[in-house]
Amino acid sequence: MNGDFSPEEKDGFYKAVFSRRDVRSHFTSEPIDEKALSRILNAAHHAPSVGFSQPWNFILIKDKESRRKVKNSFDKERMRSSSLIEDPKRSKYLSLRLEGILNSPLNVCVTYDPSKFGPFVIGRSSIPETGIYSVCCAIQNLWLAARAEDIGVGWVSILSNDDLKKILDIPEHVIPVAYLCLGHVTVFAEKPDLEKAGWLDRLALKDVVYYERWNNVSDPNWQQIREMIISNLDYA
């Protein structure tokens, strides 16, 4: 049962997982160290990918003009989204800080290029979406590595991909998957912003785990793990 991770190494890993946050405010102007950034990108590049297709690209953006255009796209989409709900939810939504496009020192657009190593990619024929899933795994690696390097990351999803493609010269067949804001922060919040703001609660782990089939929550063969999950607190 003893693996090759020391208790300290495990602690370090879980610390990144549990203290990672989606950061929108609290960015400082401190520049990001180049060595740290290259380590973060390298971690992203070592994500798993279907058929080893490595279908990701990372566009690093500092240019103010591009970022202003992205911010305009956000503003437009935010207003559009807010019209889908009614007060008091709408006012609450509009009061939330949801991006750090101009306040962070670096933006990164992560893209999916389905043509890379294609058209036949092992494991992508039955479920073509697995290509884009690989890019998401790279994004999560990037996010966690940034946390270990003391860099906050915020994912801005209130954007038009058509706008993004125009602003960043992204070709027709390539899909923007994430638009991220990176930078040092004054603080990593203890809880996710939306949890703290009372928008939604964190679900209990037991409520997202099923046994043998959908919706089966009490299987006699799984009693032990179920008890463990119910009593489970964060690793930290």
Q: Does 94 bind a second copy (CB under 8 A)?
A: no
Q: Quick check: helix, strand or coil at residue 185?
A: strand
Tokens found for residue 219:
């299987």
Q: Does 58 bind a second copy (CB under 8 A)?
A: yes
Q: CA quadruple 89, 91, 95, 101: dihedral positive or negative? A: positive
Q: CA quadruple 93, 94, 95, 99: dihedral positive or negative? A: positive
Closer residue to a second copy (CB): 103 or 164: 164
Neighbouring residues of 108: CB distance < 8 A, sequence distance ≥ 6: 58, 59, 60, 61, 142, 178, 179, 180, 182
Closer residue to a second copy (CB): 41 or 103: 41
The pattern of x and - marking residues 145 through 164 that bind a second copy according to CB under 8 A reads x--xxx----x-xxxxx---
Q: Using the rule CB under 8 A, which residue among 28, 68, 85, 118 binds a second copy?
A: 85
Closer residue to a second copy (CB): 3 or 88: 3
* Contact assessment for residue 142 and residue 180, using Cβ atoms and an 8 Å cutoff: yes
Q: Does 87 bind a second copy (CB under 8 A)?
A: no
* Contact assessment for residue 155 and residue 135, using Cβ atoms and an 8 Å cutoff: no
As measured in angstroms, the least distance from the Cβ of 14 to a second copy is: 7
Task: Render the burial of 186-201: b for 16+ CB within 10 Å, e for the rest.
Answer: eeebeeebeeeeeeee
Q: Using the rule CB under 8 A, which residue among 27, 101, 103, 144 binds a second copy?
A: 144
Find the binding residues for a second copy in span 23-42 (CB under 8 A). 30, 33-35, 37-39, 41-42
As measured in angstroms, the least distance from the Cβ of 213 to a second copy is: 4
Q: Does 61 bind a second copy (CB under 8 A)?
A: yes
Number of residues that bind a second copy (CB under 8 A): 119
| φ, ψ (nearest 5 deg) of residue 110 | -105, 130
In 3D space, the residue among 157, 150, 136, 135 whose CA is nearest the CA of residue 182 turns out to be: 150
Find the binding residues for a second copy in span 162-191 (CB under 8 A). 168-171, 174, 177-178
Find the binding residues for a second copy in span 203-232 (CB under 8 A). 203, 205, 208-216, 221-222, 224-225, 228-229, 232
